[in-house]
Every structure is written in C-alpha cells, then in structure tokens.
Structure 1
Amino acid sequence: MNKEIKMTLVTREGCVHCAQTKEILKKIQPEYPELAVEEIDMTTPQGQELISKYGIMSSPGIIINGELFSIGGTTEKELREKFVALRS
C-alpha cells in the first residue's frame, strides 16, 4: 500500500490557474488513491498563514507533503512525475 500524499491547494476565487489545476486533479486523482487534496482559500486566516510560511505570491500555491511544490499553477506532467517519485 502506498503512503498518503497530502496536497494543499491555496486558491482564491476567480483564479484561472486554480481552476486549471483542479481540472487536472479531477482527471488524474482516480489513478492516485493515496492522494488527499485539501483546498484552502488564501483570504482566510489559514490561507494567510500558508502564504506567509511558504512565500506564496500568486495562486494557486501547491504544497505537497509539507513542501512547496509550485506557485501559480502546474502541468499534468509535473504532477504525475511528482506523484510517481513519491510512490517510490
């Protein structure tokens, strides 16, 4: 059994890159049952804390297993490569 991959998306309303990232996740998440995704609005106190902690300057901020993975969006290929690396 693969260990859990915890992904946090720090998003904001009306963010085009956030919507694109969520669409990618919707497509590939069934292939990664160990993936747990949490979405946090960057305008909330928790979101502000993450922005400060990780230096997120644009949305979405993508945090995987407690480490900043990407700011401002990502690609399906980059996410798949990261998830495969975490499985090994």
Structure 2
Amino acid sequence: MRWRWAIPAALTALAVLLPAEIWAQGIPMVNVSSSGKDMQYSLSLQLLALMTTLSLLPSLLLMMTSFVRIIIVMSILRQALG
C-alpha cells in the first residue's frame, strides 16, 4: 500500500518530461515542370494516383482482351441451353 502512489507519480513525471508540443513533419513537394510551368504535387497525391492506377490497371487490361467477350458469349450460351 505504501507504493500505491508510484504509478501515478511515474505517469505524471512522464507527462511533465515529455515535450508539450510535437510537430508533424511537413509534406514534401515534388516539382513537375512542363513547357515552362512549374507544378508541385505532394507525396500523398502521387500515392493516390499510383494506387488508383494499380487498382484499375488489371480491370482495364482484362477488358481490352477477348476474355470478356468469350465469358459473355459462354454465359449467354449457357442461358440459352439451360
């Protein structure tokens, strides 16, 4: 029972000794220049564009092949025969 104050005292000491304000790191900007115009894109926008491209690319590739046509024809044929 004598050491009951030890945990609250340690938590209070940690709260006092830790910095009051923690600053986040700034967003890095990427410069893209084309035809004299200087555009800046942040890393988060680049990641968003990359993830969008990576998620849509397989479906676009699949739609450009004849696989989709074959599947559609087979499903229509199955419905007609069934």
User: Which structure dedicates a bigger proportion of its chain to helix?
Assistant: 2
Band of TM-score, shorter chain: under 0.3
User: Which structure: greater strand fraction?
Assistant: 1
> Which is greater in Rg?
2
TM-score by length of 1: 0.21
Normalising by structure 2, we get a TM-score of 0.23
